[in-house]
Amino acid sequence: MFGFGAASVPVLEPEALATRLAAGETPCIVDVREPHEIAAGHIAGARLVPLGTLEGHLTGLPADQEIIMVCRSGGRSAMATQMALAVGLRAVNMTGGMLAWRGPVVRP
């Protein structure tokens, strides 16, 4: 379920997140894709914060819970995870990003 990815950040498999959501958990999910990418859909409840603006939003993220970073394929969310960890937040990167996500999506 948890591990460390190539970018040396903690990771969470998409299936594990889907299980947690199905069990009624409401984790802090941050989708760091660009607005035009969101049209394909995002995970329900995700905060939409493009990677380029994330630095200015880190202080608004919860320090008392795990933050799950998501992007298209996992690369940008790995960078976002590193940024969050650097300021002391508990963050993990969802491996494979939305390309690997098989759960439901919300379309704007």
Query: Using one digit for the tens of pLDDT, what is the confidence trace for 32-87?
Result: 999 999 988 999 999 999 999 999 999 999 999 999 999 999 999 999 999 999 99
The CATH number of residue 80's host domain is 3.40.250.10
Per-position DSSP letters for 4-58, written without gaps between them: E-TTS-EEE-HHHHHHHHHTT---EEEE-S-HHHHTT-B-TT-EE--HHHHGGGG
With a cut of 60, say whether residue 3 has pLDDT above it.
no
Average pLDDT over residues 3-8: 56
Question: Do 72 and 14 touch, CB atoms closer than 8 A?
Answer: no
CA atoms 10, 36, 51, 27: torsion sign: negative
Question: Do 31 and 46 touch, CB atoms closer than 8 A?
Answer: yes
Whether 105 is in a domain gets the answer no
pTM of the model: 0.92
Whether 14 is in a domain gets the answer yes
Name which residue leads in pLDDT, 47 or 2.
47
Whether 59 is in a domain gets the answer yes
For residue 2, the model assigns a pLDDT of: 46
Domain ranges, residue 87: 2-100
Whether 108 is in a domain gets the answer no
Whether 107 is in a domain gets the answer no
The band of 7, judged by pLDDT with boundaries at 50, 70 and 90, is low
* Tally of domains within the chain: 1
SS (H, E, C) 49-80: CCHHHHHHHHHHCCCCCCEEEECCCCHHHHHH
Whether 106 is in a domain gets the answer no
Distance CA 107, CA 43 (A): 9
Give the pair of three-digit tokens for residue 91.
Answer: 């963050």
With a cut of 60, say whether residue 1 has pLDDT above it.
no
For residue 4, the model assigns a pLDDT of: 52
Catalytic residues, which ones? 71
For residue 108, the model assigns a pLDDT of: 80
